[in-house]
Chains A and B, each alone.
Chain A
Amino acid sequence: DTGVSQDPRHKITKRGQNVTFRCDPISEHNRLYWYRQTLGQGPEFLTYFQNEAQLEKSRLLSDRFSAERPKGSFSTLEIQRTEQGDSAMYLCASSSRNREKNTEAFFGQGTRLTVV
């Protein structure tokens, strides 16, 4: 396994456009997390999935943000009507949490979004 993969690595978009990011977790991991990291800050939790179920969403996740994990494998994070304040690094992480195995979170390289 090559680890957590995120695509694209960089995205520049105009204000008001929609963007979608993809995350492919480590294959046997059942949990998938999205975090947002702005310059000079630690990552902040946005949302997470256990298999295909979205179990928690942060208040940071406005209604312009939507995340899916339709088959419990890869996930997408969409931002509609982007604003300059959405400029950040979006990090995806996966982990395993079940009766057989618990692991820590493994992070992808992130997608850096710049809204101009």
Chain B
Amino acid sequence: AQSVTQLGSHVSVSEGALVLLRCNYSSSVPPYLFWYVQYPNQGLQLLLKYTTGATLVKGINGFEAEFKKSETSFHLTKPSAHMSDAAEYFCAGSLNQGGKLIFGQGTELSVKP
């Protein structure tokens, strides 16, 4: 069975600081992995995805994530936080692209001025 775990329900950083949001997955087969961002009362917007190939994935708004099979992790990073990055972030996995998504619990990112 597939599951996705996000460590830390709330992360707070200062503007300009590194952002690190953690995600671990559990799957019997190599999964497809995604990071979505959600602003209040909005749907989910795709930040980036890992399907096959390069393990370092770059997404929108300066975010990137690295797929590490040995650690079953897919952590999201951004070198320098911006106030507009404050939102809820969800890591999700799927056994195939376009398939059913299993979501983590979400991490709320706060950015302090």
Contacts and interface: CB of A to CB of B under 8 A. Distances in A.
Contacts of A91: 43-44
Interface residues of A, number: 28
B95 to A, nearest CB: 12
B101 A109 contact: no
Contact of A106 (B4, B9, B46): B46
Interface string A47-91: 010000000100000000000000000000000000000000001
Interface residues of B, number: 26
B43 A107 contact: yes
Contact of B100 (A41, A45, A96, A109): A45
Contact of A95 (B6, B43, B45, B98): B98
A6 B44 CA distance: 13
Interface of A: 4, 6, 31, 33, 35, 40-45, 48, 56, 91, 93, 95-97, 102-110, 112
